[in-house]
């Protein structure tokens, strides 16, 4: 591993936008509204924000300081900081999680590309609510279409990654993140101005604390992990390209704020439109099919009086999903590419090619699990659901817990302090609180999520 050829992000803004690009993704626009809808609205959001502040930011800071200090890929980072110990398996677990999530995430990312093309071709026009489930079922079960879109998405990711850290990832994030924000703003305004939007707003902002149960808290924590890209060393890898001047605490706060704002804006786009179209949240409308069955119908109904607006809003919405998904797939690809390139001493191009090919194979299997492999069940789940369950519900929380223990207990306190205060040049009055959380609160809380996910409390 030669550090002298390693690239860095060119600017602090570039570093924040790249990390925010990783965090903002399908998790915000797809998973967050589903979780909010299923777990009681505003009460869920409050707990989610609590999880981001209490667990998300300290663990993100740990990933940042581990990556920035070692300037290595996530597996290399543990090898440098804890040579000859089993800690290197935390890094390897992260690389494996990144690989698995990238493979199945690219399938859904491919769907967003197909739906962008459908929206551009005005294919939602004139359809009724009954048509959309059939359109979606036909698409996902078509082995060619979903496989080709998934491969196309991986190729797009590949081309950004091989351009390198500065002229690939950073440049792309600097272009895409502002575009994403503008599109979200336009969509939020359109949705909030719909007649009857107040019902959706009330659902989002008036908490009903009677809805809070243990499982709601567990879901909120799991969602915070997935959404902030925590637990697999993704942000650790990005931080290995941070300059020594980057303020770790401030960057973590910025990324968490951007990610949470985007999640809430997604709620502001989706819920007023869903209520306006007359859906109820306790029906099957708020399920994984939300984006591909409910939303195309919502656009037609909500903006149906002005067909040009319905068209524009649906095109923008699916394009937004493509952008958000792409900045996230790039970050997962980078975790694995940096690992292969540095640990096996290959060029970045060759490493990226190996990663893209390997992910394509697993991705094809995941894509086909909606069609020809539909009958294959692992522990009662489809192949796609199995990968999603194991990666997001087990591997990420486990990785996050180990990262907290590593930074809180194993690492020398002076190293942690030096990284967070940039060798004493920054004030960080929150340092002791962060270390306390890493030592005690995060391992216990995440341990509970894990046991909860494994069904121990059922
Ligand atoms: N945070 C991304 C999202 O919300 O869609 C998903 C993700 C990206 C998870 C990168 C993990 C990761 F390393």
Give 416-457 pLDDT, tens digit per residue. 999 999 999 999 999 999 999 999 999 999 898 788 767 776
232 lines ligand 1 (CB under 6 A): yes
30 lines ligand 1 (CB under 6 A): no
pLDDT of 85: 96
Residue whose CA is closest, atom 12 of ligand 1? 229
Confidence of residue 282 (pLDDT cuts 50, 70, 90): low
Confidence of residue 77 (pLDDT cuts 50, 70, 90): very high
* Mean pLDDT lowest among 313-317, 361-365, 401-405: 313-317
pLDDT of 2: 44
Ligand 1 centroid, distance to 228 Cα (angstroms)? 6
Q: Which residues, at least 6 apart from 307, have a Cβ–Cβ distance to it below 8 Å?
A: 125
Which phi-psi region, left, alpha or beta, contains residue 417 (left: φ > 0; alpha: ψ -120 to 50)?
alpha
3-state secondary structure of 247: coil
- pLDDT exceeds cutoff 90 at 328: yes
- pLDDT exceeds cutoff 60 at 284: no
Residue whose CA is closest, atom 11 of ligand 1? 229
- Please give the average per-residue pLDDT across 25-49, as a whole number: 90
- List, for residues 239-265, the tens digit of each pLDDT value: 999 999 999 999 999 999 999 999 999
Q: Which residues, at least 6 apart from 373, have a Cβ–Cβ distance to it below 8 Å?
A: 365, 382, 383
Closest ligand 1 atom to Cα of 396 = 11
**Locate tokens 């502001």: which residue?**
268
- Residues 337 and 333: their CA atoms lie apart, in Å, by 6
Residue whose CA is closest, atom 7 of ligand 1? 229
- pLDDT exceeds cutoff 80 at 295: yes
* Mean pLDDT lowest among 78-92, 157-171, 197-211, 293-307: 293-307
Ligand 1 centroid, distance to 142 Cα (angstroms)? 26
- Residues 135 and 138: their CA atoms lie apart, in Å, by 5
**pTM of full prediction above 0.75:** yes
Ligand 1 pocket test, pick from 48, 73, 225, 227 with the greatest ligand atom count within 8 Å of Cβ, gives 227
Ligand 1 centroid, distance to 26 Cα (angstroms)? 8
Ligand 1 centroid, distance to 94 Cα (angstroms)? 12
399 lines ligand 1 (CB under 6 A): no
Q: Which long-range contacts (CB under 8 A, 24 or more apart) does 137-141 make?
A: 139/111, 139/114, 140/111, 140/370, 140/371, 141/370, 141/371, 141/374
pLDDT of 4: 47
321 lines ligand 1 (CB under 6 A): no
- Please give the average per-residue pLDDT across 87-106, as a whole number: 95
291 lines ligand 1 (CB under 6 A): no
Ligand 1 centroid, distance to 27 Cα (angstroms)? 7
233 lines ligand 1 (CB under 6 A): no
What is the rounded average pLDDT for all residues in the chain? 91
Asked if residue 360 lies in contact with residue 154, where contact means CB atoms within 8 angstroms, the answer is yes
237 lines ligand 1 (CB under 6 A): no
Ligand 1 centroid, distance to 189 Cα (angstroms)? 26
- What does the block give as tokens for 200? 């959706």
pLDDT of 18: 95
Ligand 1 centroid, distance to 330 Cα (angstroms)? 10
Closest ligand 1 atom to Cα of 25 = 5
Ligand 1 centroid, distance to 31 Cα (angstroms)? 11
pLDDT of 283: 53
Ligand 1 centroid, distance to 305 Cα (angstroms)? 37
Ligand 1 centroid, distance to 125 Cα (angstroms)? 32
- Using CB atoms within 10 Å of the CB of residue 281, give its burial: 0 to 12 exposed, 13 to 18 middle, 19+ buried: middle
Residue whose CA is closest, atom 10 of ligand 1? 229
Residues 198/200/205/210 CA torsion (nearest 10 deg):
120
Ligand 1 centroid, distance to 22 Cα (angstroms)? 6
pLDDT of 458: 65
- List, for residues 100-155, the tens digit of each pLDDT value: 999 999 999 999 999 999 999 999 888 887 888 889 989 988 888 999 999 999 99
64 lines ligand 1 (CB under 6 A): no
- Residues 207 and 197: their CA atoms lie apart, in Å, by 17
- Comparing 127 with 170, the larger pLDDT belongs to 170
- pLDDT exceeds cutoff 70 at 357: yes
């Amino acid at each position: 591993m030669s550090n002298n050829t390693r690239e860095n992000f060119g600017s602090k803004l570039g570093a924040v936008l790249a990390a925010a690009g990783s965090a903002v993704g399908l998790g915000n626009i797809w998973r967050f509204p589903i979780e909010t809808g299923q777990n009681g609205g505003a009460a869920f959001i409050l707990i989610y924000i609590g999880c981001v502040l209490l667990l998300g930011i300290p663990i993100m800071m740990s990933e940042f300081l581990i990556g920035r200090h070692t300037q290595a890929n996530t597996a290399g980072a543990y090898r440098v900081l804890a040579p000859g110990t089993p800690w290197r398996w935390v890094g390897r677990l992260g690389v494996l999680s990144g690989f698995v999530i990238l493979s199945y995430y690219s399938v859904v990312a491919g769907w967003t590309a197909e739906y962008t093309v459908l929206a551009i071709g005005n294919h939602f026009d004139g359809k009724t609510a009954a048509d959309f489930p059939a359109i979606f079922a036909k698409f996902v079960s078509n082995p060619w279409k979903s496989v080709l879109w998934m491969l196309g998405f991986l190729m797009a990711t590949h081309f950004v990654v091989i351009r390198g850290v500065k002229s690939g990832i950073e440049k792309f994030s600097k272009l895409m993140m502002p575009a994403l924000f503008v599109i979200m703003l336009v969509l939020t305004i359109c949705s909030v101005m719909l007649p009857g939007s107040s019902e959706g707003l009330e659902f989002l902002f008036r908490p009903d604390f009677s809805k809070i149960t243990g499982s709601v808290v567990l879901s909120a924590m799991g969602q915070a992990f997935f959404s902030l890209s925590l637990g697999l060393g993704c942000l650790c890898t990005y931080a290995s390209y941070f300059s020594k001047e980057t303020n770790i605490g401030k960057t973590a706060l910025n990324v968490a704020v951007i990610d949470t704002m985007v999640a809430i804006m997604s709620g502001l786009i989706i819920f007023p439109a869903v209520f306006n179209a007359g859906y109820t949240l306790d029906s099957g409308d708020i399920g994984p099919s939300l984006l591909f069955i409910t939303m195309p119908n919502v656009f037609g109904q909500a903006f149906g009086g002005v067909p040009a607006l319905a068209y524009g809003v649906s095109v923008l919405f699916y394009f937004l999903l493509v952008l958000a998904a792409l900045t996230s797939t790039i970050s997962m690809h980078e975790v694995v590419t940096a690992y292969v390139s540095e640990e096996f001493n290959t060029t970045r191009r060759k490493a990226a090619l190996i990663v893209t090919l390997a992910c394509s194979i697993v991705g094809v299997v995941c894509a086909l699990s909606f069609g020809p492999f539909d009958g294959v069940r692992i522990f009662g789940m489809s192949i796609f659901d199995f990968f999603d369950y194991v990666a997001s519900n087990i591997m990420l929380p486990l990785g996050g817990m180990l990262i907290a223990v590593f930074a809180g207990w194993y690492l020398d306190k002076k190293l942690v302090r030096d990284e967070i205060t940039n060798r004493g040049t920054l004030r960080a009055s929150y340092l002791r609180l962060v270390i306390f959380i890493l030592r005690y609160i995060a391992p216990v809380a995440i341990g509970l999520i894990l046991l909860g996910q494994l069904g121990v409390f059922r």
